[in-house]
Amino acid sequence: MWVGILVGAVVFGILIAMANAKALGAARVAYETALEKLSAAPHDNDLRVAALSAGRNYATIARKQAGAKGVAVFDEIALQNDLTARLGSGVAASTPAPAAEDRVDKLSKLAELRDKGVLTAEEFESEKRKLLAS
């Protein structure tokens, strides 16, 4: 009886591993396909969003499969590097979104410092003006 349970558990583990490998492979193919489409039309923002989404899905699956044993191959920086490589440095450099996101992040941090009492309201306003002027 115990042998049957043990064999069943081993078979179940093998089936789970095979399903995980299949899911990872499918996510990788979807990501590579999205990158290929983006390469053909580098100025299409919808394709860029689709490539990022596919890449994030691939990264999520890879991280889950890596578990506590290590770090997954892909992360946000790797995704941006992939996109930059596919689009060429000119397209990636001309994309305004990262600068806008960076500005929002900095404003949020300034507001947090103000709310914690680290910055006065005047210091916050001064830093905010400098940031928005840059």
Q: What is the pLDDT of residues 74-111, one digit of tens each?
A: 466 677 777 777 776 544 444 445 566 677 788 788 88
Residues 77 and 111 in one domain: no
pLDDT at 100: 61
Identify whether the C-beta of residue 83 lies closer than 8 Å to the C-beta of residue 52. yes
Residues listed for the chain: 134
- Full domain range(s) for residue 119: 96-134
Q: Where are the alpha helices (DSSP H) in 1-134?
A: 2-40, 45-66, 76-87, 89-93, 97-115, 121-133
pLDDT at 33: 92
Residues 80 and 38 in one domain: yes
Residues 100 and 71 in one domain: no
| Higher per-residue pLDDT: 7 or 23 | 23
pLDDT at 96: 47
Beta strands (DSSP E) in 65-112 are: none
pLDDT at 76: 63
pLDDT at 12 over 60: yes
Residues 43 and 86 in one domain: yes
Question: Which DSSP state fits 118?
Answer: S
Residues 15 and 61 in one domain: yes
Residues 85 and 100 in one domain: no
Residues 91 and 107 in one domain: no
Domain count of the chain? 2
Residues 80 and 103 in one domain: no
Identify whether the C-beta of residue 79 lies closer than 8 Å to the C-beta of residue 55. yes
Residues 34 and 89 in one domain: yes
Cα 93 to chain centroid, rounded: 18
Residues 56 and 104 in one domain: no
Q: Is 38 exposed, middle or buried (0-12, 13-18, 19+ CB in 10 A)?
A: buried
Separation of alpha carbons 88 and 95, rounded Å: 12
Q: Is 21 exposed, middle or buried (0-12, 13-18, 19+ CB in 10 A)?
A: exposed
Residues 34 and 53 in one domain: yes
**pLDDT tens readout for residues 13-57:** 677 767 777 888 888 898 889 888 988 888 888 888 888 888 888
